[in-house]
């Protein structure tokens, strides 16, 4: 919980050195990011992001990708325990998916909401307990940054320059201060960082 008593909103995303979450080939161009997803630092980072979270907030594209992949990991006894822990959490937790095209949720414990991200988050923070985690959904993270509604940022920076693609931090965001609360560098040069909003 934040100091104001509302639920905390956390966000996790992987970025290249030039601040991109996808490459010049479009949303599916993740070559500069995916090759670092299974490192020890990345897996420890993954274990941290969902600790304390009770709601997953996702955009439709990420929901379809995640929920097409992670349930099989949750059922795989041979999977890395950290991957399996996250997978089980995602399957079992409350999921809110923002979509203008889906009418019904094809996944268990999921509800579809067709409303602006900031409006949805303001409602979610008023009820329940535990953190609200926005995991890798830039379409959700961007408007929440614009509305200054994110309390913690989990960033994994990969040591590559994509040279094109979509950036997370667009011009026009409000000026904000953040405190670095954790920093870890992996053998490949990937860097996991946790920033808390200094309010």
Looking from the CA of 59 toward its CB, the CA atoms found within 13 Å total 18
Q: If you search the block for the tokens 């956390």, which residue do you land on? A: 10
Does any domain span residue 2? no
Confidence band, pLDDT 50/70/90 cuts, at residue 2: low
pLDDT given at position 151 = 98
Task: Please give the residue range of the domain that contains residue 167.
Answer: 9-13+30-197
What's the whole-number mean pLDDT along residues 63-81? 93
Nearest to 178 by CA among 52, 55, 41, 10: 10
Question: In total, how many domains does the chain have?
Answer: 1
Task: Print burial letters for 27-65: b (CB count within 10 Å at least 16), e (below 16).
Answer: eebbebbeebbebebbbebbebbbeebebbbbbbbbbbe
Task: Quote the pTM value.
Answer: 0.93
Note whether residue 3 is domain-resident.
Answer: no
Position 23 confidence tier, pLDDT thresholds 50, 70, 90:
very high
Q: What is the CATH number of the domain that holds 53?
A: 3.40.430.10
Task: Report if residue 4 sits inside a domain.
Answer: no
- Alpha helices by DSSP H, the chain: 31-34, 40-49, 60-74, 81-92, 117-124, 138-146
């Amino acid at each position: 919980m934040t100091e104001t008593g509302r639920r905390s909103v956390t966000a996790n995303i992987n970025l290249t050195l030039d601040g991109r979450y996808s490459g010049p080939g479009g949303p599916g161009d993740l070559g500069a990011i995916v090759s670092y997803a299974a490192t020890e630092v990345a897996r420890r980072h993954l274990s941290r992001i969902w600790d304390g979270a009770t709601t997953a907030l996702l955009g439709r594209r990420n929901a379809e990708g995640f929920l097409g992949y992670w349930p099989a990991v949750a059922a795989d006894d041979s999977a890395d325990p950290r991957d399996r822990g996250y997978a089980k959490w995602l399957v079992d937790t409350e999921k809110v998916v923002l979509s203008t095209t889906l009418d019904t949720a094809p996944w268990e414990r999921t509800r579809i909401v067709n409303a602006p991200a900031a409006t949805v988050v303001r409602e979610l923070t008023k009820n329940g307990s535990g953190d609200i985690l926005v995991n890798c959904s830039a379409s959700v993270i961007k408007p929440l940054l614009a509305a200054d509604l994110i309390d913690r940022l989990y960033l994994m920076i990969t040591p590559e320059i994509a040279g094109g693609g979509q950036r997370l931090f667009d011009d026009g965001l409000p000026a904000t201060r953040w405190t670095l609360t954790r920093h870890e560098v992996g053998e490949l040069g990937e860097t996991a960082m946790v920033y808390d909003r200094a309010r």
